[in-house]
């Protein structure tokens, strides 16, 4: 079965499928946190790492300097190119899937010579066959750092904590600016009531109203951003707790696991 992909929208199958494919342009480097989180959380396999036969660009890069459509300035940190297009796959119990071959173009179309896109095309040959259900042995006891999923989840939680802190800082800053704008409006209203310079006061009053409205929009934006990040963090904390339970780490990790669930519940509230 051949699965072509060339910077196309990401497509996937449903949860009830026997085989799950995720193919396309993810705009993520293999070492990016987003890609590692996706790969470890879902259990998808990278065709480039799993294939028995690869032919194409060096290190499987899908944006290469040889492509005339590629912005060379974007590739300055990656002189050999970058891999951001993927063929990911996974099979459920009762099936086995493997990648026999994976090919990519190398900066030009093999027929016309002119590249079809700024991304290189991928073609994977996958082999799907029935497999008897296998019983997974119980995980061995050991530190949580041995689990790649737990390590990635911790890193993602740290990044979300930084994002929440930054969003809350901007929301607090916007609150102070709103208060300052309202104070200026009150002073200008008092000056107008006392018969001060009306033209200047009205001009400053208009600017102050615009300031309050603009900063109010910034406040609402960052407030919603903080709430969304908190919900994502709570979900990751829940998954982290489940991963630790599955790891069967022992009773010494139970207090920490309880704190993780407690923090997630507070965040959801």
Give the C-alpha separation, 168 to 163, whole Å.
Answer: 9
Domain region containing 110: 2-130
Q: Are residues 255 and 167 in the same domain?
A: yes
Q: Are residues 61 and 160 in the same domain?
A: no
Q: Is the residue at 214 inside a domain?
A: yes
- Chain-centroid distance, C-alpha 224: 18
Domain final residue, candidates 130, 155, 186: 130
Q: Is the residue at 167 inside a domain?
A: yes
Looking at residue 46, what is its pLDDT? 94
Q: Is the residue at 136 inside a domain?
A: no
Comparing C-alpha atoms, which of 93, 98, 119 is closest to residue 108? Answer: 119
Looking at residue 216, what is its pLDDT? 93
Which three-class secondary structure state does DSSP give residue 93?
Answer: coil
Looking at residue 126, what is its pLDDT? 92
Give the C-alpha separation, 86 to 40, whole Å.
Answer: 15
Q: Are residues 155 and 254 in the same domain?
A: yes
Q: Is the residue at 163 inside a domain?
A: yes
DSSP 192-210: HHTT--HHHHHHHHHHHHH
Looking at residue 135, what is its pLDDT? 53
Q: What is the pLDDT along the chain (269 residues), one digit of tens a residue?
A: 434 343 333 344 456 788 889 998 998 999 999 999 999 888 899 999 999 899 988 888 988 888 888 888 888 888 888 999 999 999 887 889 999 999 988 877 666 677 778 888 899 999 998 877 665 444 444 444 457 888 898 999 999 999 999 999 999 999 999 998 888 888 877 777 776 666 777 777 888 888 899 999 999 999 999 999 999 999 988 888 888 887 754 434 444 444 444 444 444 44
Q: Are residues 206 and 124 in the same domain?
A: no
Catalytic residue check, 119: yes
Structure tokens at 169: 């800082």
Domain count, the chain: 2
Q: Is the residue at 261 inside a domain?
A: yes
Give the C-alpha separation, 164 to 266, whole Å.
Answer: 14
Query: Please, which residues have CB within 8 angstroms of residue 205's CB and are 6 or more apart in sequence?
Result: 185, 188, 189, 192
Q: Is the residue at 135 inside a domain?
A: no
Burial state string for 246-261 with b = 16 or more CB within 10 A and e = fewer than 16: ebebeeebeeebeebe
Domain final residue, candidates 130, 159, 194: 130
Domain final residue, candidates 130, 162, 179: 130
**Residues 83/54, Cβ–Cβ less than 8 Å:** no
Q: Are residues 82 and 153 in the same domain?
A: no
Q: Are residues 79 and 33 in the same domain?
A: yes
Q: How many CA atoms lie within 13 A of 46 on its CB side?
A: 18
Q: Where are the alpha helices (DSSP H) in 100-197?
A: 148-193
Q: Are residues 25 and 121 in the same domain?
A: yes
Q: Are residues 104 and 150 in the same domain?
A: no
Comparing C-alpha atoms, which of 177, 144, 152, 171 is closest to residue 230? Answer: 171
Q: Are residues 169 and 66 in the same domain?
A: no
Type and span of the H or E element at 128: strand 122-130
Q: What's the first-to-final CA gap in the chain, in angstroms?
A: 48
Q: What is the CATH number of the domain that holds 126?
A: 3.60.10.10
Catalytic residue among 12, 108, 119, 135: 119
Q: Are residues 232 and 254 in the same domain?
A: yes
Left, alpha or beta for 81 (phi > 0: left; psi -120 to 50: alpha)? left
Q: Is the residue at 32 inside a domain?
A: yes
Q: Are residues 177 and 107 in the same domain?
A: no
Look-up: residue for tokens 């033209």?
199
Q: Check residue 140 and report its DSSP letter.
A: P
Q: Are residues 192 and 163 in the same domain?
A: yes
Q: Is the residue at 138 inside a domain?
A: no
Q: Could you tell me the pTM of the whole model?
A: 0.69
Looking at residue 109, what is its pLDDT? 67
């Amino acid at each position: 079965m051949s699965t072509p992909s060339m910077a196309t929208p990401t497509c996937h199958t449903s949860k009830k499928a026997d085989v799950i494919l995720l193919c396309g342009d993810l705009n993520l480097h293999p070492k990016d946190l987003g890609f590692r989180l996706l790969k470890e959380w879902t259990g998808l396999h990278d065709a480039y790492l799993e294939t028995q036969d690869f032919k194409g660009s060096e290190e499987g890069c899908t944006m290469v300097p040889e492509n005339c459509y590629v912005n060379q300035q974007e590739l300055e940190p990656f002189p050999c190119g970058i891999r951001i297009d993927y063929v990911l796959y996974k099979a459920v119990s009762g099936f086995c899937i493997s990648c026999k071959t994976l090919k990519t173009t190398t900066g030009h179309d093999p027929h016309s010579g002119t590249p079809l896109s700024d991304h290189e095309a991928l073609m994977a040959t996958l082999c799907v066959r029935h497999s008897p259900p296998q019983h997974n042995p119980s995980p061995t006891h050991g530190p949580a750092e041995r689990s790649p999923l737990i390590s990635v989840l911790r890193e993602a939680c740290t990044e979300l904590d930084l994002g929440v802190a930054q969003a809350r800082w901007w929301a607090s800053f916007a609150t102070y600016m709103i208060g300052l704008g309202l104070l200026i409006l009150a002073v200008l209203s008092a000056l107008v009531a006392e018969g001060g310079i009306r033209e200047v006061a009205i001009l400053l009053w208009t600017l102050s109203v615009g300031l309050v409205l603009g900063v109010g929009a910034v406040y609402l934006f960052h407030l919603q951003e903080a709430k969304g990040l908190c919900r994502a963090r709570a979900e990751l904390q829940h998954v982290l707790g489940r991963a630790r339970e599955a790891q069967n780490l022992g009773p010494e990790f139970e207090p920490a696991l309880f704190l993780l669930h407690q923090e997630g519940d507070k965040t959801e509230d």
